[in-house]
Amino acid sequence: MPIIRTIHSPYECKLETVKAEMAVLGPPVIRVIDCGRYLFALEGCHRIAAAHALQIQPSLIVYRPNDEIDIREYDWYDAHYWPGTIYPASDVSYELSGRMACEYVF
């Protein structure tokens, strides 16, 4: 059973909308970093929470610690805090680890 940790907690008002959409669209695709004991989600806190509530297994794109990630496409990216744009997945998970908000077991 994978454990997925998210960066943000979901907003309840948005979560209900995402759950309704997911019931029609099916499992979400989520990009995660394999951190050993858990997977760290780079995106999709609402989609993960909705999938968990609906008991739907998300489809995961898993980055290994040495895989390089272009971080510009994520909503948490801010050029003021990240001097570059491509980093090893382990560096990204380390830098974002203080933001971990929720944990879901699938």
Task: Give me the domain span that covers residue 7.
Answer: 3-105
**For the segment 39-88, what is each residue's pLDDT rounded down to a tens digit?**
999 999 999 999 999 999 999 999 999 999 999 999 999 999 999 999 99
**Structurally, how many domains does the chain consist of?**
1
Q: What's the pTM?
A: 0.92
Are 19 and 53 in contact by the 8 Å Cβ rule? The answer is yes
Backbone angles phi, psi at 102, to 5 degrees: -135, 155
Checking if the pLDDT of 22 tops 90, the result is yes
> Domain with 91 in it: what CATH number?
3.90.1530
For 5-23, give one letter per residue: b (16+ CB within 10 A) or e. bbbbebeeeebeebbeebe
Q: What is the dihedral of CA 5, 9, 86, 37, to 10 degrees?
A: -10
Token digits of residue 1: 């059973």
